[in-house]
Chain A
């Protein structure tokens, strides 16, 4: 599966459009990470636990989108966009969407 955030795939021709595909996941942080983050909040710096959590969550959301695209018979998703929103204190939704297409080599 080819993913791009531009409206085409370089060197490929779009032969069919399948419409919008998306994937989302809502994640909550866990207490252990929060305690570390609380300490980090005094001295500043990267919250590695949160970085990992978000990377993992985005990967999951992307996999769901890919599964949806594959089920439609697509071999690429173009114009991929990410959105993040805080749905509740301590939880965030990671949403990814794009257009499923079938591409062929030019």
Chain B
């Protein structure tokens, strides 16, 4: 292929990654913030604890996962950053989004079943589909969240908005 054509394709992908990627990210963040307000009433704790004085009606394990892909621009930025080392600002929002999204999905499905509390939250990060060194590899990150959901007996939960996952 002609050198100039190759350069053109590269720049087009870079621009596409930059603009569409940014737009996607902004849209995702808007949706995350909205749902975080919606599910703010459901407490999530990372410790193994609950209100032991209240009778428990139901206990179950709740899980949620999300796989988010990097965009072309970020991938190139990461490649450049690899030359000098240091903090990779462009990747941080990617992980932040994935983590918040996984937690929101966990809360949404727990809320749908009437949970009053999510206890012992665990978050796992893995990049299982990116094989290093291969140009064909898919750069993505998986965030998996799990917790024990508890529904107390007695009065019905005050925290039950409509579970909306886009």
Question: Known contacts A10-B50, A82-B124; is A43 also within 8 Å of B146 by CB?
Answer: no
Q: How many A-B residue pairs have CB under 8 A?
A: 130
Residues of A within 8 A of B94 (CB): 44
Residues of A within 8 A of B66 (CB): 46, 51
Question: Known contacts A44-B17, A45-B69; is A34 also within 8 Å of B138 by CB?
Answer: yes
Selected from B52, B61, B122, the residue in CB contact (under 8 A) with A3 is: B61
Residue of B nearest to A49 (CB): B67
Q: Interface readout for A22-47 with B: 1 if CB under 8 Å, 0 if not?
A: 00000001000010011011111111
The reply to whether B144 and A54 contact each other, CB–CB distance below 8 Å, is yes
Chain A facing B: main interface SS: mixed
Residue of B63, B67, B137 with highest tally of chain A CB at under 10 A: B67
Stretch in contact with the other chain, from B34-42, B77-85, B125-133: B125-133
Cβ of A20 under 8 Å from chain B? no
Question: Known contacts A45-B28, A54-B144; is A5 also within 8 Å of B67 by CB?
Answer: no
Closest approach, in angstroms, between the C-beta of A104 and any C-beta of chain B? 14
Residue of B75, B94, B126, B134 with highest tally of chain A CB at under 10 A: B126
The reply to whether A10 and B144 contact each other, CB–CB distance below 8 Å, is no
Give the docked Cα–Cα distance between A98 and B58 (Å).
19
Residues of A within 8 A of B61 (CB): 3-5, 80
Cβ of B72 under 8 Å from chain A? yes
Give the docked Cα–Cα distance between A37 and B126 (Å).
17
Residues of A within 8 A of B68 (CB): 44-47
Cβ of A16 under 8 Å from chain B? no
Q: Which 10 A-B pairs have the closest CB atoms?
A: A44-B71, A3-B61, A89-B131, A50-B67, A43-B20, A44-B21, A92-B128, A10-B56, A11-B56, A4-B148
